[in-house]
Amino acid sequence: MSKSSVAKRVPVSFTVNGKSHSLEAPAMARLLDVIREDIQLTGTKEGCGEGECGACSVILNGELVNSCLVPVIQAQGAKITTIEGVAQGDVLHPVQKAFLECGGAQCGICTPGMVLASLSLLEKNPNPTRDEIREGLAGNLCRCTGYMKIFDSVARACGSQQ
Amino acid sequence: MRQTQTVGRSVQRKEGREKLTGQARYVDDLTFPNMLHGVTVRSSIPRGRIKKIHFEHGVPWGEFTIVKASDIQGSNHVALILKDQPFLAEELINHCEEAVVLLAHPDKHLLEKARKLVGIETDPLPPVFTIEEALAGKQIIWGADNVFKAYRVEKGDLDSVWAKADRVIEAEYETGAQEQLYIENNGMIAVANPQDGVTVWGSMQCPYYVHKGLLPLFNLPQEKIRVIQTETGGGFGGKEEYPTLLAGHAALLAWKSGRPVKMIYDRAEDMVATTKRHPSRTRHRTAVSKDGKLIGMEIEFNIDGGAYATLSSVVLSRGTIHSAGPYFCPHVRVISRAVATNSPPHGAFRGFGAPQSLFALERHMDHVARELGLEPDEFRRRNFLREGLTTATSQLIREKVDLSGLLDHALEKSDYHAKRERFARENPGSSVKKGIGFATFLHGGGFTGSGEKTLASVVGVEATPHGQVRVLAASTEIGQGTNTIFSQIAADALKLPYEQLEVAQPDTAHVPNSGPTVASRTVMVVGKLVETAAVALRDLLIGAGLLPAEYSPEQFRQACAGYIEKFGQLRANSQYKQPPNIEWDDEKYQGDAYGAFSWAVYVAEVSVDTVTWETHVDDFVALQEVGRVMNPILAAGQIEGGVAQGIGYALYENVVWKDGRMANGQMTNYIMPTSMDLASIRVFFEENPYSYGPSGAKGIGELPLDGPAPAILNAVENATGLKVRKIPLMPEVLMQEAKRGAHV
């Protein structure tokens, strides 16, 4: 529940995965909670709640952000992509497909954020080197993989695997 | 149409698609109608007596469900090995994060406010914080002597060797606590009432542990307790025993309120309150001959168990058995203890005691080699275990083990000798010192000694009339690949395509008890049961005359349909049977500790910046023999992830304790490796199939945590000459060591 018993609720509108949403929420409610609870898209995860782990990453107006650090009022009028908006129906995005083929996902909890971070990286740099991949994903923590298979996945997705 | 085998191939992760599209449902993704949220009010002192609990004004307390120890109708203890840990503290407080009061309310924010308004008045008692204080016994905080468990392993006649040894070399080693840091925090949802009993959904490794824990708490019959594992975002041991406590808390609130209750820890609470890796102290006293043979090893190994016994006796056992490593020594004595302190209980964490004792051993092997003037690889070669020799517990090695060969290959892959020479040449001219070091080690698969026999795990395999086959086991998918590997094993046993297989969601109402998801046993032990049950299912069809010995998937489907029409259900079970020749003496701690060992050589290459004293791992070679490799991508993923955790354990992950409480319980100041910290982890497998594992597989999950820390510190010593014997190796520790003039 993102509603606080005391905080005043304000109207806010934005687009998530191409769909418009208008709702009322406390201005300082975390975008993460609004996405998970009000819009009920639970693919966006909470890992730390302080912007360290990147599990809650979403793409907001073309920028990768930690949705746990974004007050919902800042998303007014924004275009947001969450993990649920990455595949086209049943057809996986090449990044998702590469993660599946290369073993880039293990427990899966960092995976939504990691996929969005990879998309964001490839958007800016379609052919990153291994070091650029490492740097591009530095804001997303994974405790399972040791990152190697994630680097492989991103390289596979852009067809630049050495 | 015969399918090609799936074992040995990197088939895709069974539940991968759900995880990649955000459809996988973790516990916090579930919502129940009319659900409340629950929180825990914890003690704030490490040790003392509760005088009074008061509820300050500021929230409408009448709206809250409040549970205290006095509300518990059953037995207020977490059933595990001993009965010393309460679900809620009654009178005594034994650590800073002890749960005292539980609160539930529909509004999370109000709940948070309420939590701060509960005051616990206490009379403090003097606490114990370290292994040394616990053993000194000035304050007795547990039992008669603060010792949860002690072991003594005796092989040969150690007392006879000291006089005839050419050298006796002693040193002490220390390891710190390590936070689990699975990215999904612990969480549970409970529905509980007198009519239906108690059902919990949550993030966990061991559904039947939770089941066992809830039975005495509610004093209900077995079938009235149901435990369901939801998709689990990492475990590493941190969701082995702790979830029982949290499930109990959620269920107590649900029972009292009559409504579903969800309890999800935030990161700060998970970090400070849940289990960490046991800190350890090890002392080695080693007798060697001048030709570099180990002739006697005396090892004292102590671990800090925290406030309650939990699994410390078992962690200590594994650490004790692994403490003499993959070497033959005729005379060995290991004395080990798990002691009580007033910290939150330490618990299961990947490696389970072995990373601690192997850190000490593999640092010590380098130390002894240097004292003898031998190269680290040469000294180890002279002492490796091999077929026909015995371990510290006198377990006869019956498999073909070629540690020298593994060492050759690992040193070759890492270009060890050439780099050793080059670094020695180039380091004097540079402020960044480079070094290379390694560790050789083993890890036993499955429960120790007679543990598997006692567990007597069961697995079921069932089929639908459409020929779809389901594996029924309590072994959980926690990211390591259980769903995938079980499907591969059953698919091959039944000669069916991988797609025709699935694994049931672990739910104690529907799956048999295949034991806990721990101890590198899921593939080696439970996987073998999957194989046996699948073969039994096939034999049922063949025996009923419905299936020829060679068949197509379509013939299999028809046979299933026919069988189910005739008999109503098609299901086969299998139960663990101990392989022959396993003899274990639990009193003397002698005999066959494990059915099989996995063997490894890990090589670390590091750079140490002598301005900042930071250490970076530039390259890491992880070479191991784990029996048959079932799925190369999943297997490599296990090793890479374990090595990454091991690098964190060695260099970054520093739990700062202040009066028995973790002072840096945030991801901001407790640092785990990021993608920038891990440049290259290269994984190599050598295969030597194990006769009693499915398709020859042995354990793999924990092994990669054992090697990185000693390999890295050996490399740091090679780079700098600094002999640090404790982890984590923080830059300030290294700097102090350099300042103390320990530089050689």
Contact present, B566 and B373 (Cβ < 8 Å): no
The SS3 call for residue B376 is helix
Inter-chain touch B28–A112, beta carbons under 8 Å: no
Return the closest-CA partner of residue B465 out of B537, B564, B370: B564
How many A/B residue pairs have CB atoms within 8 Å?
Answer: 178
Helix (H) or strand (E) holding B268: helix B267-273
The SS3 call for residue B403 is helix
Closest partner residue to B21 (CB to CB) among A1, A5, A96 is A96
Asked if the structure places residue A21 within a domain, the reply is yes
| B619/chain A closest Cα distance in angstroms | 12
Q: Buried (b) or exposed (e) across B316-326, using 16+ Cβ within 10 A?
A: bbbbbbbbbbb
Residue A2's pLDDT is what?
41
Q: Six-digit token pair at B258?
A: 């009559």
CA B45 to chain centre: 29
Return the closest-CA partner of residue B191 out of B254, B277, B248: B254
Residue A6's pLDDT is what?
62
CB atoms within 10 A of CB B290: 10
Domain boundary among A65, A85, A105: A85
Longest dimension (CA), chain B: 82
DSSP strands (E only) in B88-162 = 92-93, 99-105, 118-124, 147-155
- Kindly report, residue by residue over B15-29, the tens digit of the pLDDT: 999 999 999 999 999
Q: Is the pLDDT score of B371 beyond 70?
A: yes
Contact present, B519 and B699 (Cβ < 8 Å): yes
Residues A79 and A104 in one domain: no
Q: Which residues contact B552 (CB under 8 A, 6 or more apart)?
A: B1, B2
Inter-chain touch A92–B17, beta carbons under 8 Å: yes
Domain boundary among A64, A85, A106: A85
Amino acid type, B347 = G
* C-alpha–C-alpha distance, residues B250 and B235, integer Å: 20
On the 0-12 / 13-18 / 19+ scale of CB atoms within 10 A, B159 is exposed
Mutate to test the interface with B, among A144, A150, A154 (most CBs of B within 10 A): A144
* C-alpha–C-alpha distance, residues A41 and A32, integer Å: 10
What φ, ψ does residue B49 adopt, rounded to 5°? -115, 140
* C-alpha–C-alpha distance, residues B177 and B660, integer Å: 12
Asked if the structure places residue A1 within a domain, the reply is no
Inter-chain touch B667–A141, beta carbons under 8 Å: yes
Inter-chain touch A48–B676, beta carbons under 8 Å: no
Asked if the structure places residue A56 within a domain, the reply is yes
Residue of B nearest to A55 (CA): B183
Inter-chain touch A4–B18, beta carbons under 8 Å: no
How many percent of chain B have pLDDT more than 70?
Answer: 99
- Which numeric CATH code is attached to B31-125+181-273? 3.30.365.10
Distinct helix (H) and strand (E) counts, chain B: 19, 30
Kindly indicate the confidence band of residue B4, based on its pLDDT and cuts at 50, 70 and 90.
confident
Asked if the structure places residue A4 within a domain, the reply is no
* C-alpha–C-alpha distance, residues B44 and B682, integer Å: 45
* Residue A135's CATH number: 1.10.150.120
Residues A79 and A121 in one domain: no
Residues A77 and A107 in one domain: no
- Kindly report, residue by residue over B115-148, the tens digit of the pLDDT: 999 999 999 999 999 999 999 999 999 999 999 9
Residue of B nearest to A45 (CA): B184
Mutate to test the interface with B, among A28, A32, A88, A109 (most CBs of B within 10 A): A109
Inter-chain touch B22–A92, beta carbons under 8 Å: no
* Residue A80's CATH number: 3.10.20.30
Residue A159's pLDDT is what?
76
Query: Averaged over A45-74, what is the pLDDT?
Result: 98
| A9/chain B closest Cα distance in angstroms | 14
- Chain B residues whose beta carbon lies within 8 Å of the beta carbon of residue A86: 21
The listed CATH number (3.40.30.10, 3.40.50.2030, 1.10.3470.10, 3.30.365.10) that belongs to domain B16-25+451-575: 3.30.365.10
Inter-chain touch B675–A144, beta carbons under 8 Å: no
- Chain A residues whose beta carbon lies within 8 Å of the beta carbon of residue B60: none
Residues A24 and A73 in one domain: yes
Residue A3's pLDDT is what?
42
Q: Which residues contact A19 (CB under 8 A, 6 or more apart)?
A: none
Residue B581's pLDDT is what?
82
- Chain B residues whose beta carbon lies within 8 Å of the beta carbon of residue A146: 637, 640-645, 673, 678, 681
- Chain B residues whose beta carbon lies within 8 Å of the beta carbon of residue A55: 183
* C-alpha–C-alpha distance, residues B19 and B479, integer Å: 10
Inter-chain touch B481–A106, beta carbons under 8 Å: yes
Q: Is the pLDDT score of B616 beyond 90?
A: yes
- Chain B residues whose beta carbon lies within 8 Å of the beta carbon of residue A82: 22
- Kindly report, residue by residue over A71-130, the tens digit of the pLDDT: 999 999 999 999 999 999 999 999 999 999 999 999 999 999 999 999 999 999 999 999
Asked if the structure places residue A3 within a domain, the reply is no
Question: A131: which DSSP letter?
Answer: H
The SS3 call for residue A97 is helix
Residue A20 belongs to what domain range? 9-85
Q: Is the pLDDT score of A160 beyond 50?
A: no
Residue of A nearest to B10 (CA): A101
Residue A1's pLDDT is what?
41
Closest partner residue to A138 (CB to CB) among B20, B108, B675 is B675
* C-alpha–C-alpha distance, residues B282 and B302, integer Å: 6
DSSP secondary structure, B211-223, as one string: HHHHHHHHT--GG
Residues A115 and A79 in one domain: no
Closest partner residue to B107 (CB to CB) among A5, A99, A109 is A5
Q: What is the mean pLDDT of chain B?
A: 97
Q: Is the pLDDT score of B459 beyond 70?
A: yes
Residue B655's pLDDT is what?
98
* C-alpha–C-alpha distance, residues B406 and B460, integer Å: 38
Residue of B nearest to A140 (CA): B674
On the 0-12 / 13-18 / 19+ scale of CB atoms within 10 A, B187 is buried
Residues A103 and A60 in one domain: no
Residues A21 and A43 in one domain: yes
- Kindly report, residue by residue over A139-150, the tens digit of the pLDDT: 999 999 999 999
Amino acid type, B56 = E
Sheet of strand B65-67, all strands in order from the earlier edge strand to the far edge: B65-67, B99-105, B36-42, B261-264, B187-193, B197-202, B225-229
A6 vs B471, higher pLDDT: B471
This model of the complex carries an ipTM of 0.97
Residues A21 and A78 in one domain: yes
The SS3 call for residue A142 is coil
Amino acid type, B426 = E
Return the closest-CA partner of residue B657 out of B649, B666, B665: B665
Structurally, how many domains does chain A consist of? 2
Residue of B nearest to A103 (CA): B633
Residue B349's pLDDT is what?
98
Longest dimension (CA), chain A: 56
How wide is the angle at C-alpha B115 spanned by C-alphas B114 and B118, nearest 5°?
A: 90
Contact present, B290 and B66 (Cβ < 8 Å): no
- Chain A residues whose beta carbon lies within 8 Å of the beta carbon of residue B674: 138, 141
Inter-chain touch B479–A96, beta carbons under 8 Å: no
Asked if the structure places residue A139 within a domain, the reply is yes
Residue B266's pLDDT is what?
98
The SS3 call for residue A38 is helix
Backbone angle region of B603, left / alpha / beta, with phi > 0 → left and psi within -120 to 50 → alpha = beta
Q: Buried (b) or exposed (e) across B485-495, using 16+ Cβ within 10 A?
A: bbbbbbbbbbb
**B276-448+588-739 CATH fold:** Aldehyde Oxidoreductase; domain 4 (3.30.365)
Any idea which of A72-81, A152-161, B107-116, B312-321 has the lowest mean pLDDT? A152-161
Residue B744's pLDDT is what?
43
Cis preceding-peptide flag for B330 (omega within 30 of 0): no
Query: Averaged over A31-58, what is the pLDDT?
Result: 98
- Kindly report, residue by residue over B689-731, the tens digit of the pLDDT: 999 999 999 999 999 999 999 999 999 999 999 999 999 999 9
Question: B74: which DSSP letter?
Answer: S
- Kindly report, residue by residue over B259-282, the tens digit of the pLDDT: 999 999 999 999 999 999 999 999
The SS3 call for residue B86 is coil
Residue of B nearest to A82 (CA): B22
Parse chain B into domains and list their residue ranges.
16-25+451-575, 31-125+181-273, 276-448+588-739
DSSP secondary structure, B526-545, as one string: IIHHHHHHHHHHHHHHHHTT
Residues A76 and A137 in one domain: no
On the 0-12 / 13-18 / 19+ scale of CB atoms within 10 A, B683 is buried
What's the Cα-to-Cα distance from B215 to each of B240, B358, B455, rounded to whole Å? 17, 37, 18
Domains B16-25+451-575 and B276-448+588-739 belong to one CATH topology: yes
Task: Give, to the nearest 10 degrees, the angle between helix B354-372 and helix B708-720.
Answer: 30
Closest partner residue to A50 (CB to CB) among B17, B645, B668 is B668
| B160/chain A closest Cα distance in angstroms | 47
Contact present, B289 and B165 (Cβ < 8 Å): yes
CA B181 to chain centre: 13
Residues A99 and A49 in one domain: no
* C-alpha–C-alpha distance, residues B265 and B267, integer Å: 6
Residues A62 and A98 in one domain: no
- Chain A residues whose beta carbon lies within 8 Å of the beta carbon of residue B641: 106, 143-146
Q: Is the pLDDT score of B741 beyond 90?
A: no
Compute the Cα dihedral for B699, B243, B340, B665 and give only its sign: positive
Q: Six-digit token pair at B659?
A: 């009066």
Closest partner residue to B109 (CB to CB) among A5, A43, A87 is A5
Return the closest-CA partner of residue B334 out of B393, B380, B379, B279: B393
Domain boundary among A85, A107, A137: A85
Q: Which residues contact B361 (CB under 8 A, 6 or more apart)?
A: B282, B284, B299, B323, B324, B325, B441, B710
Task: Give, to the nearest 10 degrees, the angle between helix B416-426 and helix B708-720.
Answer: 40
Residue B3's pLDDT is what?
52
How wide is the angle at C-alpha B238 spanned by C-alphas B233 and B244, nearest 5°?
A: 95
Contact present, B548 and B469 (Cβ < 8 Å): no
Residues A110 and A71 in one domain: no
- Kindly report, residue by residue over B185-226, the tens digit of the pLDDT: 999 999 999 999 999 999 999 999 999 999 999 999 999 999
| B219/chain A closest Cα distance in angstroms | 33
Inter-chain touch A108–B231, beta carbons under 8 Å: yes
Residue B550's pLDDT is what?
96
- Kindly report, residue by residue over B505-514, the tens digit of the pLDDT: 999 999 999 9
